[in-house]
Amino acid sequence: MLRFIRSDIAKFTAYKPHPASDIPESVASSLAVDHLDTNESPFDLPTQLKEKLAWTYQQLIEANRYPDGGHEKLKEAIAEYVTESAALEIPVTAAQISVGNGSDELIRSVLIATCLGTEGSILVANPTFSMYSILAQTLGIGVVEVERSPENFEIDLEQAQAALELPESPVKVVFVVHPNSPTANALTLRELNWLRSLSEQILVVIDEAYFEFSQTSVVQELVQRPNWAVLRTFSKAFRLAAHRVGYCVAHPELIAALDKIRLPYNLPSFSQAAAQLALIHRQLLLESIPDTLAERDKLFNALSGYPNLQVWSSAANFIYFRPRQQDKASSYDTLTRIAGEMKAKGTLLRHTGGGLRLTVGSTEENTRTLQRLEEIIASYF
């Protein structure tokens, strides 16, 4: 053991994305692996845009120069997109935007800017995006966890309210996803009203990673709510997961705080160019969304046809489901086995939060998913 490493680091495990390397060699070499475990778009950037990006790199980016550390052009383009996509009367400005190396970086910056080194904790309602807790814990920040309704995954608001009133570790930040991952439900009016009722001393982070699929947003409320922040990303509908670009829309004072603590050149020139290009060509890129939603509904209907599966409707590009009527232990076991058998057949899906999360893929991928699931499910029930 190296003694200079913080003792609490031992209890964490490094994030292991796409465990495709676990797929048996025989499977991986004989068939295409369907990556339906991380909610990316199944579609690569169109060739014409890749060519434009390559041209930008050759002609406009000086590799020997640091990137634009202020992200000015990109922030202006994002501000315009946010304004347009919500038809805002008062436009969002660049001063209300901070750009991160993925929204993961912004989550960490929010934690540093609010809770680090104080008695402040964060509140999350499980199951939800795991990064909030993981990043908080690596910074020694407390995580208060509350539950959701097992029927519709609405946050247990009584529990959440009670948690805010605990004296020992004041909650400074509430993290919600809209629509939630992994359960795919958008915030209900009751949940939104609860968030609206919170004191301005509490930061409410609303992660809209799936906004382009759900078309539900709270950005229009930011003008009257200085304690709300919206997170978005280019990793999902904009097909730029490889480039790691996320952004936060919030009160200029919070944005200024985030900018003070981030690394100076956090976003490579190439990624900034990719995000700008994606925004210019957003119509083309977002054109595939209706198809993805139609594919999602097809998957939902097919999965709902299995009497032994419980499937939840989705406001995003993924579907959450699990076997019905099992006790907790056997259900966990069954889920692990289903996920394992799917992987052995070449489909990666995510076993998380007591269910299985399946990304909507291309038509071919979805057809394979249903075939493979059918074979597996038939052997179980």
Ligand X SMILES: *Cc1c(COP(=O)(O)O)cnc(C)c1O
Residues in the site for ligand X, rule: CB under 6 A? Answer: 39, 102-104, 129, 177, 181, 207, 209, 233, 235-236, 246
In angstroms, what is the minimal distance from the CB of 139 to ligand X? 17
Q: Which two three-digit tokens encode residue 123?
A: 């509140």
Nearer to ligand X, 232 or 345 (CB): 232
In angstroms, what is the minimal distance from the CB of 119 to ligand X? 26
In angstroms, what is the minimal distance from the CB of 314 to ligand X? 13
CA distances from 32 to 53, 296, 345, 351 (A): 27, 21, 10, 21
Residue nearest to ligand X (CB): 102
In angstroms, what is the minimal distance from the CB of 230 to ligand X? 11
Nearest 5°: the CA angle 120, 123, 126 is 150
Whether 217 and 230 have beta carbons less than 8 Å apart is answered as: yes
Query: Which of 348, 235, 345, 364 has its CA nearest to residue 299?
Result: 364
3-state secondary structure of 208: coil
In angstroms, what is the minimal distance from the CB of 315 to ligand X? 13
Nearer to ligand X, 181 or 276 (CB): 181
Nearer to ligand X, 244 or 251 (CB): 244
CA distances from 34 to 73, 196, 241, 293, 342 (A): 36, 40, 16, 18, 10
In angstroms, what is the minimal distance from the CB of 280 to ligand X? 20
> How many angstroms separate the CA atoms of 220 and 52, rounded?
33
Give the DSSP H or E segment for 125: strand 121-125
Nearer to ligand X, 274 or 376 (CB): 274
Q: Which DSSP category does 176 fall into?
A: E
Nearer to ligand X, 185 or 345 (CB): 185
Nearer to ligand X, 285 or 376 (CB): 285
Beta bridge partners of 144: 123
